Amino acid sequence: MGKVSEFNQQDYEVIARDYADLKEAARKRCNDESELDIIQKAFDFANEAHKGIRRRSGEPYILHPIAVAKIVVSNIGLGYKSIVAALLHDVVEDTDYTVDDLRNLFGDKVATLVEGLTKIKTVLDNEDKAQQKSMQAENFKRILLTLNDDVRVVLIKLADRLHNCRTIEFMPEHKRDKILSETMFIFIPLAHRLGLYSVKSEMEDIWLRFKEPKAFNEITANINRNIHNKDQEINDFIAPIDEALKAAGFDFEIKKRVKTPYSIWNKMNTKNIAFDQIYDLYAVRIIFDLAQETKEKEREQCYHIFSIITGIYRYKSDRVRDWVNYPKNNGYEALHCTLMSHTGIWVEVQIRSRRMNEIAEKGIAAHWAYKKDGFADENESEMDKWISKVKDILVNPDVNALDLLDMIHNDLIKTDIMVFTPKGEQRSIEKGATALDFAYSIHTHIGNKAIAAKVNLRLVSLSYVLKTGDQVEIITAENESPKREWLQFLKTRKARGIVMDYLRSERHESIRIGKKMLFEQLEAIGYNTGDKTINMLMEGYEVFDSKPDELYFRIGAGIIKLNTLKDVLSKVREQKKRESSWIFPWLRPKARKDKFVIKEDGASDHRYVIASCCNPIPGDSVVGFLGSDNTVTVHKRTCDIANNLASKFGDKIVIPEWEHAKSQNLSYLVRLSLKGFDRIGIINDITRYISFVMSVNIRKFSLSTENGVFDGHIDLYVHDMGDLEKLTKKLQKIEGIQSVIRTEL
């Protein structure tokens, strides 16, 4: 929990101040003084229980539950029982008090909430190596099981995680990586799915600040510089909108906001663009009040405001997002559009009613509050449907813990599209889903018997990928049954699960077929079929099982396709070769086992390999994972695979550090993506500078030109980030080049 020491006068003053802030926030959510009295009683109890205990930061421990309770009431909008549970959430775990003690003092509901939080914390902090393999997955399972019981446990846990992230700088580095990866893999998607945008955004920014501090600082500096330069322009943009809406009789407020550092960083990386190319950096939010709130009136007002502001400014038609008629599956409602200001900058405008804004800010808690008040909403069941669907996944006895974690994670981050039945009934389905997925979403029998589909009255195959607005009709035949090849294109968990269950009855046959197919392919490309090759394939295809039968089954069932077999083997072999003589010597005789320095020389049993998924180079922010053979695999801290691994195997994290001295004998493969205006001689200028001036070895060069604009990439070898940054800056100065960005290989 923390260290024990006497509190001083300053400590008591800080505690009193923070609790006074909480009480003021809680007063707005409490129905009467009796509820405030219970909060006071909970604070007095927790304050005494944690007396003399300090956190790693040195501050009194009680400040943590106070902070969690403040997030619960201010960011999430929960009531007094949740505030009380937040104040008490660490008492059972960290003191001699029991759940029964809390039940006697605060009632059954508060005790149940605290018990749920205690169970989650116990598993999260468990360091028993025998349980580590499925620890995170089992923990997440427990968290989601509480959704079916009382979602407030999850919401309070999110508040607890947010405050732990706020104070994460005081954690040891290996523990910090575990918490941040777990946060990105589990808690951020969960916050998004429950509509808690403020919680989600703050967690994302903290994740970036510690995973990629250099990128975070650069983006933050760019934002601040941009705000300073453009603030008056945004005010000038808002002025005519404000005037026009007042003239139209609206009761409203307008807020300004800038994209968060994480959302900018994510867009730069996914779109391969520079900061200057992000055109929707600014957003304006119009929040209007209604004398009488009805769904029809809200919609009417949203579209009325849209017509007024697009009469003032030109809008980008492909950037209109109508989440008023079609809310997101987490309940979010708003009308978005992007307008061009008179000074030439694009500004995103979000139009929301007061109710929509409350739901956008506080998610499920606000959603249920309005539902309780009798506000009609035909889409209100989307959140409830997802929560009830969770149980179907959790009770499946054939899903192991690690697969469960991936399954739920994918379900959390997916986005949905709207399609229609032949009778015009609207249905929501995962983006990327096929006609066969749609068939299974209607009924298992229809999916099992499907042979084709009609989309918008046109005959298509079952593998057809659906788009928003498609009208879908499924054609069936009674003698049809699920096929192995269906697994190659099915997208949704439900459909894949049904087909897998059907095929599992034929598992032994699938294993036999898969083994035969694999061995034939291996012999055809000149590889032996020994254990070494099979183990390489299990690693390459990410089959985390002790026996190769699972690999054979996935091949036989059509889940793994062998058309990339040679590439997979080559990739694994190349990664193994790169181990060479690289090792991790200890930093000092008594150094922690989680601290390593990446060097060329030294004496240690630990070797390392550079992860081929993200290809870190010296100077990158990295994290390592210790394997059973004492080899450490080094990833970028922001690598998706690294975050996945850290969320599951927190005990395997090590913190490598690049040696400061540059080795002239070692180089690392990176990719630079270039964009610009074509001209005669530009390719010669680029290659001459890279090869002759910088003496850098080019592995691959690919450029394409269309209408005077070129786009392409160069794969080359550098010694470290210093080389890469120098090269990038020099290339940007070549006439015609508009952007040079490092991208994934």
Q: What percent of the chain has pLDDT over 90?
A: 24
Helix (H, G, I), strand (E, B) or coil at 28: coil
Is the CB of residue 335 less than 8 Å from the CB of residue 323? yes
Tell me the pLDDT tens digit for each residue of 515-570.
999 998 888 888 888 888 888 888 788 775 657 888 888 888 777 888 888 888 88
Tell me the pLDDT tens digit for each residue of 80-102.
899 999 999 989 887 888 889 99
Q: Which of 160-169, 383-392, 475-484 has the highest mean pLDDT?
A: 160-169
| Residue 701: per-residue pLDDT | 86
Q: In angstroms, how far is CA 34 from the centroid of its own chain?
A: 40
Tell me the pLDDT tens digit for each residue of 438-492.
999 888 999 999 999 999 989 999 999 998 778 999 999 988 888 878 988 998 8
pLDDT confidence band for 594 (50 / 70 / 90): very low
* Nearest CA-CA partner of 147 in 362, 408, 414, 366: 408
* Nearest CA-CA partner of 155 in 385, 407, 356, 362: 362
Residue in the block written with tokens 């009796």: 34
Q: What is the DSSP letter of 123?
A: H
More confident residue, 1 or 109: 109
What phi, psi does 649 have (nearest 5°)?
A: -125, 65
Q: How far apart are CA 498 and CA 494, in angstroms?
A: 6
Q: How far is CA 607 from CA 540, 585, 646, in A?
A: 19, 9, 19
Q: What is the tally of helices (H) and strands (E) in the chain? A: 29, 22
Is 470 among the residues known to form the active site? no
| Residue 385: per-residue pLDDT | 57
Is the CB of residue 337 less than 8 Å from the CB of residue 317? no
pLDDT higher than threshold 60 for residue 202:
yes
Q: How far apart are CA 596 and CA 579, in angstroms?
A: 16
pLDDT higher than threshold 70 for residue 235:
yes
Is the CB of residue 649 less than 8 Å from the CB of residue 132? yes
Helix (H, G, I), strand (E, B) or coil at 421: coil
pLDDT higher than threshold 50 for residue 374:
no
* Nearest CA-CA partner of 184 in 743, 648, 651: 648
Per the rule left: phi > 0, alpha: psi between -120 and 50, beta: everything else, 145 is alpha
- The mean pLDDT of 70-75, rounded to a whole number, is 90
pTM of the model: 0.68
Helices (H), 563-652: 565-577, 640-648
Is the CB of residue 115 less than 8 Å from the CB of residue 85? no
Residue in the block written with tokens 């200028």: 685
- The mean pLDDT of 114-141, rounded to a whole number, is 57
pLDDT higher than threshold 70 for residue 584:
no
Determine which one of 59, 93, 322, 579 is catalytic. 93
Q: What six digits make up the tokens of 655?
A: 């913190």
Is 411 among the residues known to form the active site? no
- The mean pLDDT of 265-285, rounded to a whole number, is 85
pLDDT higher than threshold 80 for residue 204:
yes
Q: Mean of the per-residue pLDDT values for the chain?
A: 80
| Least confident residue range of 66-70, 161-165, 324-328 | 324-328
Which domains occur in the chain, in start order? Answer: 3-170 (1.10.3210.10), 213-372 (3.30.460.10), 414-491 (3.10.20.30), 507-577 (no CATH), 595-658 (no CATH), 668-743 (3.30.70.260)
Determine which one of 94, 293, 406, 506 is catalytic. 94
